[in-house]
Amino acid sequence: MASETAYYKMSEDNKKQFIKSRSSYFKGTIAVSAIYGSVVLILALIGFSSQSGRDFIFKQNFYFTTTFIGGTLFVITLILIQLFTYRQSKKEEEIDTISCPDYWKLVKTNNNILTRMNNEVKNNLKYHCVPETEPSDQMAKELNIHEFDNSNPLEKAFSDTLRMVNHNNLTFKDAKINSKGRITCGRIYPRHMAIYDHKFGKENNTDNNELRCNWIKRCGDEEYPIQWNTVCPK
């Protein structure tokens, strides 16, 4: 079993959340800067409007004025630096994306196959898992998306996850990817499945392993069981 913790490219949902969070942060920065700027402007107007104002601001309260203006510039600069270096929390993005089932091995996908795969998910298909021993007839079984109940959220998500690889947005017959690259009961792309497992879990408030556990149930049986204790513990 191979395992690696990695950070994946943000999905469209995560991008939207990131933009929303950064937008809120940006609005807060504008508000704080506007408040500090307004106070500085008021002090400047008082100081330049009359001699008594200049004496009050620049002589009687010189240290306060310079400290306040200097502190304001420092705070605004610090906030702007934080804004432009804002990043989504790695903790939200970290998932175990390259974990194979027990007694399976991680294999690099052949470049000739990879170049013909769906561009939408190609970056997640660079590695796949296969059994360490000679696969049985059960492991060679194809997964037919037309057998799934699309009225069931889990079944539909599982079907869509397979379609992105096996059908390449086309029909199974016309898909560019050949049988050596499809997700079957004897081949799985762990990064691809993990990412969409994570996405399905967040959207449906469930564990982040529903799709992979469903794959085990569909492909394993009493004679050829598939175990994946890091994902679907007994």
Q: Sketch the domain layout of the chain as residue ranges.
A: 12-91, 97-219
Question: 125-141 in b/e burial notation, b at 16+ Cβ within 10 A?
Answer: bebbbbbeeebeeebee
Whether 90 and 18 have beta carbons less than 8 Å apart is answered as no
The model's pLDDT over 116-151, given as tens digits with 9 standing for 90+, comes to 888 888 889 999 999 888 766 667 777 777 777 888
Give mean pLDDT, residues 24-47.
78
Assigned token pair, 143 = 């997964």
What is the pLDDT of the chain when averaged over all its residues? Answer: 77
pTM above 0.95, yes or no: no
Residue the block writes with tokens 């089932």: 101
